[in-house]
Homo-oligomer: A and B are copies of this chain.
Amino acid sequence: SRRAMGRAMGLAGLLLGLVVVPAVLVSTSLRHGAPRTEAEPEPAGWELAADAVPEDSLWPLPQWVRTYPRQLQLAPSRFQLVHGAGSSAGPGCGPRRRLCFPGRYYEYMFGHSRRRTWGRRPLAARAEPELFQLQVVIEAGDPGCDRHPQVTSSEAYHLTVTEPVAILKAYEVWGALRGLETFSQLVYEDDYGSFLVNESEINDFPRFAHRGVLLDTSRHYLPLKSILTNLDAMAFNKFNVLHWHIVDDQSFPYQSIYFPELSDKGAYSSNLIYTPTDVRLVIEYARLRGIRVIPEFDTPGHTQSWGKGQKDLLTPCYSGGQPTGSFGPVNPVWNTTYDFMTKFFQEISSVFPDEFIHLGGDEVDFSCWKSNPEVKEFMKKQGFGTDYAKLESYYVQNIVDIVSSYNKGQMVWQEVFDHKVQLKPDTVVQVWMANNYAHELSSVTGAGFTTVLSAPWYLDYISYGQDWKKYYSVEPLNFPGSEKQKKLVIGGEACLWGEFVDATNLTPRLWPRASAVGERLWSSSNVTNLQDAYKRLTNHRCRML
Using a CB–CB cutoff of 8 Å, the interface residues on chain A facing chain B are: 6-7, 9-11, 13-15, 17-18, 219-221, 250-251, 268-269, 271-272, 460-465, 499-505, 507-509, 545
Given A15-B500, A545-B504: A251 and B465 within 8 A (CB)?
Answer: no
B contact residues around A18 at 8 Å (CB): 219, 250, 499
Residue of B nearest to A6 (CB): B269
Residue of B nearest to A503 (CB): B11
A456 to B219, CA, bound (A): 30
16 contacts between A and B (CB under 8 A): A7-B269, A7-B271, A9-B268, A10-B502, A11-B502, A13-B219, A13-B499, A14-B220, A15-B500, A18-B219, A18-B250, A462-B463, A465-B500, A504-B507, A504-B508, A504-B545
- Asked if residues B465 and A464 are in contact (CB atoms below 8 Å), the reply is no
- Name which of A269, A465, A504 has the most chain B CB atoms within 10 A of its CB: A504
A11 contact from B7, B465, B504, Cβ within 8 A: B504
The number of times this chain is found in the oligomer is 2
B contact residues around A271 at 8 Å (CB): 7
B contact residues around A7 at 8 Å (CB): 269, 271-272
- Asked if residues B14 and A221 are in contact (CB atoms below 8 Å), the reply is no
> Whole-angstrom distance from the CB of A497 to the nearest CB of chain B?
10
> Whole-angstrom distance from the CB of A271 to the nearest CB of chain B?
6
A18 to B463, CA, bound (A): 21
B contact residues around A505 at 8 Å (CB): 14, 505, 508-509
- Name which of A10, A14, A462, A502 has the most chain B CB atoms within 10 A of its CB: A10
B contact residues around A509 at 8 Å (CB): 505
A272 to B12, CA, bound (A): 13
Residue of B nearest to A267 (CB): B10
> Whole-angstrom distance from the CB of A40 to the nearest CB of chain B?
33
A508 contact from B14, B17, B508, Cβ within 8 A: B508
> Whole-angstrom distance from the CB of A455 to the nearest CB of chain B?
16
> Whole-angstrom distance from the CB of A26 to the nearest CB of chain B?
24
Residue of B nearest to A222 (CB): B10
